[in-house]
Homo-oligomer: A and B are copies of this chain.
Amino acid sequence: MPQTKFLLDESRMPTHWYNIAADLPVPAPAVLHPGTMQPVGPDDLAPLFPMELILQEVSTEREIAIPEPVREVFRLWRPAPLYRAHRLEKALGTPAKIFYKYEGVSPAGSHKPNTAIPQAWYNAQAGIRKLTTETGAGQWGTSLSFAGQLFGLEVKVFQVRVSYDQKPYRRAVMETYGARCIASPSNETQYGRRVLAERPDHPGSLGIAISEAVEIAATNDDTKYALGSVLNHVLLHQTIIGQEAMLQMEMADADPDVVVGCTGGGSNFAGIAFPYIGQQLRGGKKRRIVAVEPAACPSLTRGKYAYDFGDTGHMTPLTKMHTLGSTFTPPGFHAGGLRYHGMAPMVSHVKELGLIEAVAYHQVACFEAGVLFARSEGIVPAPEANHAVKGAIEEALRCKREGKAETILFNLCGHGHFDMAAYQSYFAGQLSDQSYSEEELAMALSGLPSVPA
């Protein structure tokens, strides 16, 4: 029996993050100040982030050292395992070799602690005592709660009200890690009060929760804000995934022809993909890099590449990205972590440079893929991760049709233990392929801010 798991010893955990900005043929477009529409400088971001993270945001150094206290925490679960999916290959009857990197082994159950830990550490080093953030389904809020606990920071999480009410168990995990969780929109911020005044029973949205968390940080000296995706430094922190995978694929004596990840904000995808794209940009092997997104919130495949806000309250800087418009409200499909109107500017940029492909699938097909995966490999994937599973299975079936023994690598970014209600709906036949109307998308896109050329 060929090997199933490829485990790296702690001593081989990467010591540096990989910064794709160092290898890009064209730099990504500037980030603009929402008031002046001029490029932001480090000082503009200082109310929200500690300077070390701001410097990482704009760095063009290829390698950025991972601080030793951060690596010490990573040792609780990293290096994360890489698996050969023998049983899935057999179930599909494909000549392809399928490998997956599994990030669900982290305490929070996803890749999110890869950036929560360093963000908390850099804030603690800068003397910050409190962090605010937003969370939808709860993966990110859980991760930052855990990170804050380890470095003695108070964490306040604004959770989208509909998730707060419907998914109390994620909240219980945040509380287990010592964080305070608040339903958003809330009365704790000016913006939240404004939203509630208009509609007291507002179910909330990620965009609103971001606005609330940002407001608290912007108006309190001892408090900073932490974001779980989208920003350059967040994507940077996730590159440990791809760097470990490279070492493990070597152990497996294999080299991927296709690399697959799911995309919401873009961070887990960037984590597995950027180190491989960088290798190619430096003259290495050309691979297909495939981003899989939900058809109900298809920023990369249906969005416009334009400057837009990151939040609903229009407090964030403007970034150029594939966006559905900041007022776009995605339908209520189950992959909460992929329900975001925009895409990480750096992922959008490599898409524009032709370095990656993008494809979109509806949720029922993704759950079907997830169940096949669970029955073959044992792990029950998160609904978000099911998109990557679906993408990998489609590639494997293509290989079968074409009679090609390609090597496929995908990132299984998290487990679905807190998402079993979604599986339950799937088995009960109550899940449908949610969609938006073309009118709604056109309306949201028509509201994009105008930016001087």
Contacts and interface: CB of A to CB of B under 8 A. Distances in A.
Contacts of A77: 378
A75 interface: yes
A374 B176 contact: yes
B1 A175 contact: no
Interface residues of A, number: 47
Interface stretch (A5-13, A182-190, A266-274): A5-13
A105 interface: yes
A414 to B, nearest CB: 12
Given A9-B7, A177-B374, A424 B169 contact: yes
A66 interface: no
B427 A375 contact: no
A88 B109 CA distance: 20
A289 to B, nearest CB: 27
A172 B1 contact: no
B1 A72 contact: yes
Contact of A3 (B10, B68, B150): B10
Interface in A129-183: 146, 149-150, 168-173, 175-178
A138 B176 CA distance: 22
Contacts of A178: 375
Contact of A375 (B106, B149, B418, B424): B149
A107 interface: yes
A86 to B, nearest CB: 8
A5 B75 contact: yes
A380 interface: yes
A176 B5 contact: no
Nearest to A415: B417
Contacts of A146: 378
B424 A168 contact: yes
A107 B417 CA distance: 10
A420 interface: yes
B375 A169 contact: no
A4 B75 contact: yes
Nearest to A1: B72
A421 B7 contact: no
Contacts of A83: 76
Contacts of A371: 176
A76 B4 contact: yes
A222 interface: no
A377 interface: yes
Given A3-B10, A169-B421, A173-B380, 6 more contacts: A1-B71, A5-B76, A76-B83, A107-B379, A172-B421, A176-B423
Interface of A: 1, 3-5, 7, 9-10, 68, 71-72, 75-77, 83, 87, 105-107, 109, 146, 149-150, 168-173, 175-178, 371, 374-375, 377-380, 415, 417-418, 420-421, 423-424, 427
